[in-house]
Homo-oligomer: A and B are copies of this chain.
């Protein structure tokens, strides 16, 4: 069953609340849930809405390393890095794609969100970055078609990277931000299970990032165990990290982190949950701005309010789970904050110098931690987990063996329904 955390409404299918418009979540029963003896998305099956598919890429999602990186300690705060770039397509997106595709494969049984008649014929997503690559790969490992809606002006390198897995790509000319909502409207009727940035299935998969972090601290694997502690000391990590710092774009990963913390707490696995901090690039920081203003909801940034940033993959002016993330930051005594591109560049250089290569967006947590330490929001001696969300080859031409131009259809936004086989025009 699905519930709206904002207003309490329940639903059998769908992705957002019919009453208040906020994203739906899958209900879970934390009763009797214990830490699994290993990591990986499916290790947390007791808290997932669907069984794993019997093979394929879904099995490879998650189980990413958590490393103690003392060279990155910030004013005495102890830094651990969760390296999500080691997922099969190089980002945390594989966690949600694995669950989303598994649900679609399961033919609508067992908690899928699909609101159409019968089972979905395809999976889909609205993305031109890591999520598009991830969904295309996970779709490819099953018999389901994958539909990827990209903006008309997508770069050739990005297009090629997605096209390597041979999904159906539709370039849509028009307001790309609204496509998220178009997909929710059109998906059920066109037989496509859209697994977007904060869909309930994706959030269910993405919560395993922080479940793995909490498990590592609870079981003593973090900090004091292999790869932990400080050189020459036997310092042990605490049972729970003091804080988790992660980038925020749509808010889907941020709200998943909150869900993870709440479920672990409800199961009695965590006593004193970590503070959650969400970091944006200053050029496009609607969640941080709302947090600083003390607002209850995030307001969409318009036109000239949005600047350019090196952390382009998290530059979302209208985050569909922004308001949920705002609630998460407040409820956990954390914050949303913004860092400028100079700070992001410096943090990225330092991560690479510590052996950890990340895309610019994934350097924002270290930049954010440094600001938080300066402000006194994080203390010396605290153990802080930075979520390095991706390695960032999604936007490059990684040599996929293809060459020449790609023949990809382009439709106006008003023609999307017809392109998906709906309405008079058909396909």
Q: Which residues of A contact B (CB under 8 A)?
A: 37-38, 40, 42, 52-60, 63, 65, 67-71, 83, 85-90, 137-141, 164-166, 226-233, 345, 348-349, 352-357, 359-360, 391-393, 395-401
Is A67 a contact partner of B60 (Cβ separation < 8 A)? yes
Give the number of times this chain occurs in the complex, counting copies: 2
How many Å lie between the Cα of A355 and that of B143 in the bound state? 11
Q: Which of B59, B89, B359 contacts A226 (CB 8 A)?
A: B59
Residue of B55, B59, B141, B352 touching A165 (CB-CB under 8 A): B352
The interface residues of chain B lying within 8 Å CB-to-CB of A55 are: 67-70, 227-231
Can you name the residue of chain B whose Cβ is closest to the Cβ of A139? Answer: B355
Task: List residues of chain B with CB within 8 A of the CB of A89.
Answer: 357
Query: Contacts of A228 on B, CB cut-off 8 Å?
Result: 54-55, 59
Are B60 and A353 interface neighbours, CB within 8 A?
Answer: no
- Closest A-B pairs by Cβ, 4 of them: A59-B227, A141-B355, A60-B65, A57-B355
Taken together as a complex, chains A and B put the C-alpha atoms of A69 and B53 apart, in Å, by: 12
Known: A57-B67, A166-B352. 13 other contacts (CB 8 A): A37-B37, A54-B230, A65-B88, A140-B352, A141-B354, A141-B355, A165-B352, A165-B353, A352-B400, A359-B399, A393-B399, A396-B397, A396-B398
Interfacial chain B residues near A38, Cβ < 8 Å: 37-38
Q: List 8 A-B contacts (CB under 8 A).
A: A54-B228, A54-B229, A57-B355, A86-B87, A86-B88, A138-B355, A165-B355, A396-B397
Query: A348 contacts which chain B residues (CB < 8 A)?
Result: 401
Set B71, B138, B231, B359: member contacting A54, Cβ < 8 A? B231
Which chain B residues lie closer than 8 Å to A53 at the CB level? 227, 231
Closest B residue to A37 by beta carbon equals B37
Q: Is the CB of B52 within 8 A of A226?
A: yes
Q: Report A356 CB to chain B, min CB distance, Å.
A: 7
